[in-house]
Amino acid sequence: MAALTDLTLTETVKGLRTGEFSSMELTQAYLERIDQLEPKLHAFISLTPDKALAQAKAADKRLKSAGDKQLPPLLGLPIAVKDVLSVEGIRATSGSRILENFIPPFSATAVQRLLDAGVVILGKTNTDEFAMGSSTENSAFGTTHNPWNLERVPGGSSGGSAAAVAARLAPVALGTDTGGSVRQPASFCGVTGFKPTYGRISRYGLIAYGSSLDSVGALGRSAQDLAELFSIMAGFDKLDATSMDLPVPDMHLNADVDIKGLRVGVPEEYFIKGIQTEVEEAVRAAVSELENLGAQVRQVSLPHTEYAVPVYYIIAPAEASANLARFDGVRYGLRVESEDIIDMFKETRGSGFGSEVKRRIMLGTYALSAGYYDAYYGQAQKVRALIKRDFEQAFEQVDVIAAPVAPTTAFTIGEHSGDPLSMYLEDVFTLPANLAGIPGIAFPVGFDSDNLPIGMQLMGSHFQEETLFRAAHAYQSASDWHTKAPAVG
């Protein structure tokens, strides 16, 4: 039998049900592997082994009680949670010194639904501070290393979750995606990651960055595994005013998923100068594979793609500057004492926030300030409407859009640290989905000559997540890139 930590979510849940192994054995196997590899990877900000073992013990008790006919679907399954999501009683830092000792008194809805489904929480994963970044280098608690090459970034901001799943420190992990923060690290670490439609999974308990862009997603070994999590986390929540009251498909993807006739669009604007040749080749080969499986491939155009970076880097910082105003040293988090209350605010925020967060607060404050509002924020909202319209027009012709996740494979730690704009430009292929509010799924489709994973993303129309999961699952049923694991060391 394979090591317990090599099993997929589906295999793990089955093994727990049949009594092949207990949740204690499984949880211990993951905790041992974390002990062994965490010093090299630094995927976690907080580990919670005692709570995890207590949850596992309780799960085992229920699994063994023969009379219990209504066992929760994920009973005894260990997961990891990105540190921007609140879990009651476990500190949530958001990767920031300003929340270093913050213990949430409640759990995020997405987390609570998984807890109700029986999961065991191993710990909280590393993230760029307040999810602002594409490399996890902006965490106040140190950089996460890519399990495929320790000198490379894991991507970000859900880099800790991506590294943890890739290195088999957790079978699945929660992430958040505001501008690509699930899909890009999934791509860099060779795992599968999805972001839902805006309004599909409640944002309640997600420490806010850009409220019109933020989404809760997950990373795992396959689309099949993630479809199970999606079905549990998605759906209306009265605690999130933007949550949509729509039926959620109960997806259990089988081997015989058929994508005959699926219309796949390839946007020319995503194959631009500067894209790594091996990335383009691998993505085009994956599109051909979808065609072999019966999909109809055609070219589509998303003409405003080149404006996604400037639109995002006005709207996201503007929303961040408002959201992060709450960190003032009064109700929670760090306080730097001063006799004067305005000084207290300034000193607290000046020493509690890191460089990238300050940069985005400054940028957003500028864009919203008197005299500049129309030229920057107002114009960005208009161009955002054009980007959304591009997608609506494309989805009149196709069911899904296939594109690279990032122009390159994982870059070297420190490569972009002196030049924030060059880092922002790396987000060009992931930002549009957040600006339009549509769902996306990223999964591995090959490796470059440095043995670094290459990812492709499929984007779908609003609330058409099932189409994305089915297409990705069909691809993964016919290929084995998603089963490759790094030899960490």
Partner 1 sequence: MNLTIQEVERIADLARLHLTDEEKERFREQLSSILGHVAKLQDLDTAEIQPLTSMSLECTRLREDQPGESLSPEELLNNAPDAIKQQFRVPPVLDTDNHS
Q: Which residues does the annotation mark as catalytic?
A: 82, 157, 181
Question: What string marks each residue from 170 to 199 as x (binds partner 1 by CB under 8 A) or -?
Answer: ----------------------------xx
Q: How far is the CB of 210 from partner 1 (least distance, A)?
A: 10
Are the beta carbons of 108 and 205 closer than 8 angstroms?
A: yes
Residues 396-425 that bind partner 1 (CB under 8 A): 420-421, 424
Q: Which is nearer to partner 1, 39 or 105 (CB)?
A: 105
Which DSSP category does 329 fall into? S
Are the beta carbons of 181 and 135 closer than 8 angstroms?
A: no
Strands 400-404 and 44-47: unpaired
Which of these ranges, 95-103, 281-289, 293-301, 402-410, lies near partner 1 under the rule CB under 8 A?
Answer: 95-103
Q: Which is nearer to partner 1, 348 or 457 (CB)?
A: 348
Q: Which is nearer to partner 1, 325 or 478 (CB)?
A: 325
**Sign of the alpha-carbon torsion through 86, 92, 94, 95:** negative
Which of these ranges, 57-65, 156-164, 225-233, 370-378, lies near partner 1 under the rule CB under 8 A?
Answer: 370-378
Q: Which is nearer to partner 1, 57 or 358 (CB)?
A: 358
Are the beta carbons of 182 and 226 closer than 8 angstroms?
A: no
**Residue 288 CB neighbour total at 10 angstroms:** 12
Short-list 316, 392, 388, CA closest to 357: 316
Q: How far is the CB of 102 from partner 1 (least distance, A)?
A: 6
Residues 324-363 that bind partner 1 (CB under 8 A): 325, 328-335, 338-342, 344-347, 349-351, 353, 355, 358-359, 361-363
The CA distance from 391 to 308, in Å, is 13
The reply on whether position 46 binds partner 1 by CB under 8 A is no
Are the beta carbons of 177 and 209 closer than 8 angstroms?
A: no
Q: How far is the CB of 156 from partner 1 (least distance, A)?
A: 18
Dihedral, CA of residue 113, residue 114, residue 116 and residue 119, to nearest 10: -170
Q: How far is the CB of 56 from partner 1 (least distance, A)?
A: 27
Are the beta carbons of 98 and 333 closer than 8 angstroms?
A: yes
**Nearby residues of 92 by Cβ (< 8 Å), 6 or more positions away:** 83, 84, 85, 86, 99, 102, 103, 104, 124, 207
Dihedral, CA of residue 196, residue 198, residue 201 and residue 204, to nearest 10: 140
Coil, strand or helix at 404: strand
Q: Which is nearer to partner 1, 229 or 320 (CB)?
A: 320
Residues 210-239 that bind partner 1 (CB under 8 A): 212-213, 238
Question: What string marks each residue from 273 to 302 as x (binds partner 1 by CB under 8 A) or -?
Answer: ------------------------------
The reply on whether position 484 binds partner 1 by CB under 8 A is no
Residues interacting with partner 1, by CB under 8 A? 101-103, 105-106, 198-199, 212-213, 238, 241-242, 244, 306-307, 309-311, 313-314, 321, 325, 328-335, 338-342, 344-347, 349-351, 353, 355, 358-359, 361-363, 365-366, 369, 375-376, 378-386, 388, 420-421, 424, 437, 462
